[in-house]
């Protein structure tokens, strides 16, 4: 009941505005502008699939779950009556010196101020409201974790090296390492992280396993990964690249250097995550909103309507000229031309606006070509209804004009 009430409060807050990207990623929005639609549109090869950009979203979601896992670990420690300083002194010392995104959770900055690391690494990439919204979602999800999966065959003694010490805000334009995307790789969505209830206490090895999986899936060069199908390396500017992962989930760190590196595990991917957030927010998300908040058709469906519209318009015009040049009587028979003209103009205008007014009046929006779901986001429903009325008026005007023109033309038998 509390979750439902909270969802209603969020929806009422968006009654006169479009959702933010943080709200979409936090699963606070409803169809057709929810996370499922944002991810699912990679099938259309327009929003995420271009140049393999769907890996960026997968990386963001996996790092979000990694951070939730770390938060859950810290909360478990505090619930046990121990302090983070007693349980993990290396991390406490690292967080105290360098700053940490978990400062409030571990008791470093109870006043809630932003830490040095979160602001110095990539700059202020989120608005204050977005940070509060995302923090609320993180705390809610902190009681869950992702089941860690390790890349098979990774040797614990083959990884040495570090991250670049330069944490300046990246200025490199957003682009991705090139792989040719395919149109119908529907199973890619299975790599998106799932949230499952945890049945046992979280350990530091779980945190290492989670970080290890993320590194070898998204950050390691393809040649360094045994299973190449599990590698989906994303582009990052040089200042944010992690060159290797120096720990192994199969063995506990023993040396002082390994313990010091392990202390960086909770914050290891946060700067990269913020960079990916900013890249998606500036590139994929605006196009997603234009497509789903102002239209309800997928590109393939719109293209099919264009082809059908042109074919039916050709049939309608051929019939109309035949009635004129054969001087078919009575002249009132020409009024039946409104039937092909209606379908032709409807399909052509729907393609132009990427919006089918009939589907909107039925409260439907396409997810994949010719498959629909109900529109539930209040403001989006209002926008689409207004545009559907406008499209309907245009269709009626064009059909009326065409029908009257061919009715008024005097017949002349050739």
pLDDT mean over 159-170: 34
The C-alpha atoms of residue 293 and residue 385 are separated, in whole angstroms, by 11
Lowest mean pLDDT among 107-111, 142-146, 196-200, 270-274: 142-146
Lowest mean pLDDT among 155-169, 181-195, 247-261, 299-313: 155-169
Q: Kindly report the pTM of this predicted structure.
A: 0.70
Residue 66: predicted pLDDT: 93
CB-CB contact of 166 with 19 (8 Å): no
Per-residue pLDDT for 70 more than 50? Answer: yes
Residue 293: predicted pLDDT: 93
Write down the mean pLDDT value for the chain. Answer: 76
The C-alpha atoms of residue 248 and residue 109 are separated, in whole angstroms, by 31
Residue 284: predicted pLDDT: 85
Q: Report residue 309 CA to chain centroid gap.
A: 32
195 or 397, higher pLDDT: 397
pLDDT mean over 223-246: 75
Rg for the chain, CA atoms, rounded: 28
Residue 258: predicted pLDDT: 84
pLDDT tier, 165 (very low <50, low <70, confident <90, very high otherwise): very low
Q: Beta strand 144-145 with 364-368: parallel, antiparallel or unpaired?
A: unpaired
Three-state DSSP string of the chain:
CHHHHHHHHHHHHCCCCCCCHHHHHCCCCCCCCCHHHHHHHHHHCCCCCHHHCHHHHHHHHHHHHHHHHHHHHHHHHHHCCCCHHHHCHHHHHHHHHHCCCCHHHHCCCCCCCCCHHHHHCCCCCCCHHHHHHHHHHHHHHCCEECCCCCCCCCCCCCCCCCECCCCCCCCCCCCCCCCCCCCCCHHHHHHCCCCEECCCCCCHHHHHHHHHHHHHHHHCCHHHCCCHHHCCCCCCCHHHCECCCCCCCCCCCCCHHHHHHHCCCCCCCHHHHHHHHHHHHHCHHHHHHHHHCCCCCCHHHHHHHHHHHHHHHHHHHHHHHHHHHCCCCCHHHHHHHHHHHHHHHHHHHHHHHCCCHHHHHCCEEEEECCEEEECCCHHHHHHHHHHHHHHHHHHHHHHHHHHHHHHHCCCCCC
pLDDT by residue (tens digit) across 344-367? 999 999 999 999 999 999 999 998
pLDDT tier, 9 (very low <50, low <70, confident <90, very high otherwise): low
């Amino acid at each position: 009941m509390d979750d439902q009430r909270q969802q209603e409060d969020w929806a009422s807050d968006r009654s006169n505005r479009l959702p933010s990207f943080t709200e979409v990623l936090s699963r606070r929005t409803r169809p057709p502008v929810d996370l499922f639609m944002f991810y699912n549109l990679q099938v259309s090869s327009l929003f995420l699939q271009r140049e393999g950009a769907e890996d960026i979203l997968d990386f963001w979601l996996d790092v979000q779950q990694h951070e939730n896992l770390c938060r859950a670990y810290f909360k478990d420690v505090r619930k046990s009556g121990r302090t983070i300083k007693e349980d993990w002194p290396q991390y406490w010392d690292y967080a105290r010196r360098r700053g940490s995104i978990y400062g409030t959770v571990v008791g470093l900055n109870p006043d809630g101020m932003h830490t040095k690391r979160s602001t110095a690494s990539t700059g202020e990439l989120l608005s204050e409201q977005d940070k509060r919204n995302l923090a609320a979602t993180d705390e809610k999800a902190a009681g869950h974790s992702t089941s860690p999966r390790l890349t098979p065959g990774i040797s614990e003694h083959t990884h040495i090296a570090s991250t670049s010490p330069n944490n300046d805000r990246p200025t490199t334009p957003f682009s991705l390492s090139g792989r040719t995307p395919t149109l119908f790789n529907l199973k890619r969505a299975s790599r998106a992280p799932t949230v499952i209830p945890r049945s046992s206490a979280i350990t530091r090895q779980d945190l290492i396993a989670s970080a290890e999986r993320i590194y070898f899936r998204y950050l390691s060069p393809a040649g360094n990964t045994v299973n190449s199908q599990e590698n989906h390396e994303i582009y990052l500017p040089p200042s944010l690249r992690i060159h290797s992962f120096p720990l192994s989930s199969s063995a506990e760190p023993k040396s002082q250097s390994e313990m010091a590196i392990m202390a960086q595990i909770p914050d290891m991917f946060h700067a990269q995550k913020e960079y990916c957030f900013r890249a998606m927010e500036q590139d994929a998300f605006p196009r997603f909103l234009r497509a789903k908040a102002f239209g309800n058709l997928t590109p393939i469906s719109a293209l099919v309507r264009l082809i059908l519209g042109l074919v039916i318009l050709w049939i309608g015009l051929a019939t109309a000229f035949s009635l004129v040049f054969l001087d078919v009587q009575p002249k009132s028979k020409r009024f039946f031309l409104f039937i092909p003209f209606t379908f032709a103009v409807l399909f052509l205008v729907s393609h132009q606006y990427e919006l089918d007014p009939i589907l909107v009046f039925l409260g439907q929006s396409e997810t994949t070509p010719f498959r629909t779901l109900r529109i539930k986001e209040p403001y989006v429903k209002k926008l689409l209804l207004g545009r559907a009325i406008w499209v309907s008026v245009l269709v009626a005007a064009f059909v009326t004009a065409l029908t009257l023109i061919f009715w008024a033309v005097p017949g002349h038998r050739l």
